[in-house]
Structure 1
Amino acid sequence: MTTLPFRAGRGVPPLRDQVAGELRSRIADGRVAPGERLYEKAIADELGVSRLPVREAIRMLQSEGLVSVQPRRGVLVRRLNRQAVQDLFDVREALEVLAARLAAERADQAALRRLEELVEVGRRALDDGDDQAIAASNTAFHDSIYQLAGNALIPEVLDPLMGRLHWLFRQNVEPERVFLEHQELYRALAAHDPEQAADVALQHIRSSRRMVLEMLKD
């Protein structure tokens, strides 16, 4: 594997944050599978860092619920069972619907243009059949809704859950349905219709809940 350009210095995030971000990404997109063991030394060697930032990054992921540290087994990527997924969707229903309602009330034209660009990125990814790009655009779209709400507490409350939420956003076997619902939600936001935005967001989350729970049956 190629050593990644992880570095320390002014103007860049601490190494622990860079390593944690890389590991989150690998867990979210499936490069590191549920149940897989993480080895500090192997990660440190691959990323070209010492073991200390890797150890600190693993502690961060443990606090976020992405990994568990087990006696005699080491660090394992957590498997999200049906109840854990249900709990995540419950949180999404509470906060993402609120975020959509607030975004419809507060988002300015510049922010809406950026969201429209994300919708177009999603369309191109769908047309190209690029699963990685579809997953990335889905994640970016939802992250943007949290920011457009203009309520600093929403992303703050969700921050410890973002790794698990990003994993959730990538569980997508109905990409066309997901894209069309994103498009519908964008239109409600652009129309500054908070009730419609909240309703579309709620239906989108419930459709995705059904989809992911069906996937977990396999």
Structure 2
Amino acid sequence: MARNLRPPAEVVDDTSQTRRIYDDLRRAIITGEYREGEKLPEARLAAQLGTSRLPVREALALLEFDGIVSALPRRSAVVRSWDATAVEELFDVRIGLEPLGARLAAARIRQGHDSSPLRAALREAREATDSRDPLRIAESNAELHGAIVELSGNSLLTQLMRTILARMAWLFFLTHERDTEEQRDEHQHLIDAITSGDERLAEYAMLSHTEAGRAPTLAIVTALRHSERSTGQGA
């Protein structure tokens, strides 16, 4: 089946070309155009994109760093799969990082730092919800969480968070049938708590919001895997 991957419209430098290929492949994986467990040979991707193998290889390396694909020496990259363990691991890491990020962000706002980036990210998340576009909703919600940690001012925390944002967007897309209106209300409450400058309130709001998503996310992923096994479509 032909892949609807957008080829570069013009000659660009290697860094821009790699980023463009990365973005195209990431979105294709998130939306299921490339299925979990599917091999991604460099040569085939390069031919589809009308480019050399080098930027494809670099893009796949970025996707591996993000935990979107896995690769073995001298073998094709493979789209990673979601199961209960993968979901639990992501939530465990988020529980460790995000409440800290919310607390530090609240402290900086209390000290006078600008909260407009959070408001802008929240506004985009709300508009995405209204659009009912699952990919836009998933990406904007992940970006909202990233913006909170970004405001923390902790460079190491921000770097760690960036390594899981793509996985968060992917999981948000897979579970887009969750109550988006409820999540929108939770995000409003979360941003209100952070912008109040109350560190403990912000930390608790983030902890509560993140943990509340664990059970429904596990239920959806488990149901998806069961459905795939029943129809013989599993990776």
> What TM-score range do you get, normalising by the shorter chain?
0.7 to 0.9
Q: Which amino acid aligns with 2:61?
A: R
Normalised by the size of structure 2, how large is the TM-score? Answer: 0.80
2:213 aligns to what SS in structure 1?
Answer: helix
2:39, 2:76 within 8 Å by CA — same for their partners in 1?
Answer: yes
Q: Which amino acid aligns with 1:190?
A: T
Q: Which amino acid aligns with 1:161?
A: I
Distance 1:95 1:189 in 2: 15
The partner residue of 1:199 within 201, 204, 222 is: 204
1:127 aligns to what SS in structure 2?
Answer: helix
Residue equivalent to 1:27: 29
Q: Which amino acid aligns with 2:77?
A: V
| CA-atom RMSD in angstroms | 2.5
- Extract unaligned runs of 5+ from structure 1: none
The partner residue of 1:211 within 216, 219, 229 is: 216
Normalised by the size of structure 1, how large is the TM-score? Answer: 0.86
Deviation by residue 1:37-66 (Cα, 9 ceiling, x = unmatched): 213233213333201221232233234432
1:142 aligns with 2:145: yes
Residues 92/66 of structure 1: CA separation in 2 closer, same or farther (3 Å cut): same
1:6, 1:15 within 8 Å by CA — same for their partners in 2?
Answer: no
- Extract unaligned runs of 5+ from structure 2: 224-235
The partner residue of 2:98 within 75, 96, 101 is: 96
Structure 1 residue 196, shift from structure 2 partner: 0.9
1:158 aligns with 2:168: no
Q: How many residues in Structure 1 have an aligned counterpart in Structure 2?
A: 216
1:76 aligns to what SS in structure 2?
Answer: strand
Judge which range, 61-70 or 206-215, deviates more: 61-70
Residue equivalent to 1:8: 12
2:71, 2:77 within 8 Å by CA — same for their partners in 1?
Answer: yes
Structure 1 residue 68, shift from structure 2 partner: 2.6
Structure 1 residue 149, shift from structure 2 partner: 0.7
Structure 1 residue 205, shift from structure 2 partner: 0.6
Residues 6/151 of structure 1: CA separation in 2 closer, same or farther (3 Å cut): farther
Deviation by residue 1:51-89 (Cα, 9 ceiling, x = unmatched): 122123223323443223369983320102211211111
Distance 1:165 1:196 in 2: 24
Residue equivalent to 1:182: 187
